[in-house]
Amino acid sequence: MENDQALALFDEILVRTKEGRIPWEPLGSDTLLAAIKGKRSLLLMPYTTTDSWGNERGGPSLTVKDSSDRELLRVTSEIEGVRPEALQELYEAARRQAFKVDEQVQDLLSDLRSL
């Protein structure tokens, strides 16, 4: 599926996430959310769809919603130019930021060194 806007948006979100500029937060145990300027929200899930049994299928997916709860865009690896590895990279970078993984690991390291 070709979608230039979705591809451009995904690239920008990936770059901004790597720069640590997007305020990703944990929503559930593995779903991540970033609210952008009180107008839109980005939802990052570690899967693409769920089947009727509730099993999660596919790689990470990104959904953009507006303030009225309308789904504006959905980015999955089905979009031409969006590589599954890049989506996984985005999810991992966002997860590390949302759960403050780097800070926690640093803190743990200094705790371990002081033992």
Partner 1 sequence: MVCGVEGLQCGTICCGTGNLASVAGLLFSFLAFIFSKKASKAAKQAQQFALTRSLGEDINNASKTASEIVTYVRSEKAEMAVVRISELIGVTIYIIARWDAKLSELSKNRLLKVREQLHLVHDLLGKTPMGELSARDKTTLARFCREVPTTFVEEYGVALREVDKKV
Q: How far apart are CA 68 and CA 87, in angstroms?
A: 26
Residue number, 35 or 109, with CB nearest to partner 1: 35
Closer Cβ to partner 1, 27 or 86, answer by number: 27
Q: How many CB atoms lie within 10 A of CB 76?
A: 21
Number of residues lying near partner 1 (CB under 8 A): 23
For tokens 């990703």, the residue is 24
CB nearer to partner 1: pick between 68 and 110: 68
List the one residue from 1, 2, 19, 54 that touches partner 1 (CB under 8 A): 54
Task: Give the C-alpha separation, 38 to 36, whole Å.
Answer: 6
Closer to partner 1 by CB, 26 or 84: give it: 26
Q: Does 110 bind partner 1 (CB under 8 A)?
A: no
Edge-first strand listing for the sheet containing 61-66: 25-26, 32-36, 40-45, 61-66, 71-75
Taking the C-alpha atoms of residue 82 and residue 111, their distance in angstroms, rounded to an integer, is 40
- Rule CB under 8 A: say whether 35 interacts with partner 1: yes
Rounded least distance, CB 37 to partner 1, Å: 6
- Residues contributing to the site for partner 1 (CB under 8 A): 23, 25-31, 33, 35-41, 43, 50, 54, 65, 67-69
